[in-house]
Amino acid sequence: MGPNAKVIPLGQMDGDAIRLVTVKKVWIDHNTLYECQDGLLDVTRGSTGVTVSNNWFRNQDKVVLLGHNDGHLTDKNIKVIVIFNHFGPNCNQRMPRVHHGYAHVANNFYQGWEQ
């Protein structure tokens, strides 16, 4: 973990498997994420330098959210790379969903996506 990383106790989580808020230079790599209360991965509040690679996302409605919503202007600075991931089976939306910011999404595998 880097010098700006914060570990939030489970009691303060909002239902995401991984939630990154105002982080810099984070690498999410080689994880299997599935069946969470909300989304599998949220990157929000101006986080930048985030790489999401070689993960398996499955059995989830809301998968990856980049930027909280259109009202959070700090999210315009988000810079995320989403590469070499496996989405599916049973993933429905947000693969990824981008609000503001910049995302480079390449070489991902989408299994059984019917939308």
- What is the model's pLDDT at position 48? 95
Q: Cα-Cα-Cα-Cα dihedral of 9, 85, 63, 111, to 10°?
A: -140
Q: Where do the domains of the chain lie?
A: 15-109
Active-site residue set = 94
- What is the model's pLDDT at position 68? 85
Pairing type for strands 48-53 and 86-87 reads: unpaired
- Report yes or no on whether pTM surpasses 0.85: yes
How many whole angstroms from its chain centre is CA 72? 17
pLDDT tens for the chain, 115 residues long, are: 556 666 666 556 678 999 999 999 999 999 999 999 999 999 999 999 999 999 999 999 999 999 988 788 888 989 999 999 999 999 999 999 998 899 999 999 999 876 5
Return the amino acid letter for 9.
P
Q: Which residues contact 62 (CB under 8 A, 6 or more apart)?
A: 38, 39, 40, 92, 93, 94, 97
